[in-house]
Amino acid sequence: MGCHTPGCIGEHETGNISHTVIYQERSIVLHGVPAGICPECGDVVLTDETMIIIEDMLRRKARSKKTEHAYEA
């Protein structure tokens, strides 16, 4: 997939990232999140499926005191 950044000609490559989310007034870091990453400018794209999984994880782990979690597909 082509990069969304204006002027960038890079193509997104599949990789894993650490993604920070603010949920219920807390910052939560998810490690190992699959994403499309542009090697030219660093633009990151998450798929709809990944976003659904993240939302589900946040609901399930909302009561946890931990602020860092591994991505669970």
- Kindly state whether residue 8 falls inside one of the protein's structural domains: no
Please tell me the pTM assigned to this model: 0.84
- Kindly state whether residue 39 falls inside one of the protein's structural domains: yes
Residue 72's pLDDT is 83
User: Any idea what the CATH number is for the domain that residue 42 is in?
Assistant: 3.10.20.860
Containing domain of residue 47, as a range? 13-70
- Kindly state whether residue 4 falls inside one of the protein's structural domains: no
Residue 44's pLDDT is 96
42 Cβ contact partners less than 8 Å away, ≥ 6 residues apart: none
- Kindly state whether residue 2 falls inside one of the protein's structural domains: no
- Kindly state whether residue 58 falls inside one of the protein's structural domains: yes
- Kindly state whether residue 59 falls inside one of the protein's structural domains: yes
12, 3 contact by CB (below 8 A):
yes
pLDDT tens-digit readout, 17-72: 999 999 888 888 999 999 999 999 999 999 999 999 999 998 887 778 788 888 88
Residue 66's pLDDT is 82
Overall domain count for the chain: 1
pLDDT tens-digit readout, 1-22: 789 899 999 999 999 999 999 9
